[in-house]
Amino acid sequence: MATMGNSTNIFWHECPVSKVDRQKLLNQQGCIVWITGLSGSGKSTLACSLGRQLHCRGKLSYVLDGDNLRHGLNKNLGFTPEDRTENIRRVGEVAKLFADAGLICIASLISPYRKDRDSCRALLPEKFIEVFLNMPLELCEGRDPKGLYKLARAGKIKGFTGIDDPYETPLNCEIEIRQEDGNCPTPNEMAGQVVSYLEDKGYLEA
């Protein structure tokens, strides 16, 4: 190695870089945490809290936010059924790359159709953690953080999930987050539930 000493040169030959090597470097296991749920269910909030809790433990995660990606990688996609599917497919493929890089990749998308979520799961079936943010429509609509439900009810947005387009409830999700006794868990509590799962399954060490 031109710029390094002999001892490094020897070490070099024992230093092939695989997913396992990256995971050892990070002391964690790459995976995809796929957060699905209605608009306003708290996906971005959970993703953010989860990222912070993991960072506080020295773990490297990265959030792929459906809305944000539409400004970059997916900016050439609209909201036709084909484009929605392609949107989710690309996020799934990128999430797989991040997991391969050793990161805990947190994908946050409504992803209303079972078929699309299952296609992403199939990309990395043994490392795919589907988190269903199971909040009642009334709660989400009451929050309406982006004012989208109001527009959908007024007919100004067509094909809005939960209003005039279906949300297909996960059948096989790893984690379900819901209200308890009518109370919504806090963002920290929701993130804690995911962190506990990751810890139990051994993702937080190499």
Binding site for its own copies (CB under 8 A): 1-4, 8-9, 11-12, 15-17, 21-22, 25-26, 48, 51-53, 55-56, 58, 60-62, 64, 72-73, 76, 86, 90, 93-94, 96-98, 100-103, 123, 185, 188-189, 191-193, 195-196, 199
Nearest approach, Cβ of residue 77 and its own copies (Å): 11
d(CA 169, CA 152): 20
Half-sphere exposure of 202 (CA within 13 A, CB side): 4
Q: How far apart are CA 97 and CA 89, in angstroms?
A: 13
What backbone torsions phi and psi does residue 117 show, to the nearest 5 degrees?
A: -65, -40
The distance of closest approach from Cβ of residue 149 to its own copies in the complex, given in angstroms and rounded to an integer, is 29
The answer to whether 39 is a known catalytic residue is: no
By beta-carbon proximity to its own copies, the closer residue of 138 and 200 is: 200
Contact 13, 191 (CB under 8 A): no
Q: Which of 39, 41, 49, 111 is catalytic?
A: 111
DSSP 186: P
Q: Rounded to whole angstroms, how far apart are CA atoms 105 and 33?
A: 6
Nearer to its own copies, 51 or 112 (CB): 51
Read off the tokens for 146: 């982006």
Amino acid letter, 192: G
In the complex, what is the shortest distance from the CB of residue 198 to its own copies, in angstroms, rounded to a whole number? 10
Task: Quote the least distance from Cβ 186 to its own copies, whole Å.
Answer: 8
**131 or 152: CB nearest its own copies:** 131
Task: Decide: 98 and 24 in contact? Cβ < 8 Å.
Answer: no
- How far is residue 149's CA from residue 110's CA, in Å, rounded to a whole number? 14
Q: Residue 164 or 205: which CB sits closer to its own copies?
A: 205
User: Would you please indicate which residues are annotated as catalytic (active-site) residues?
Assistant: 111
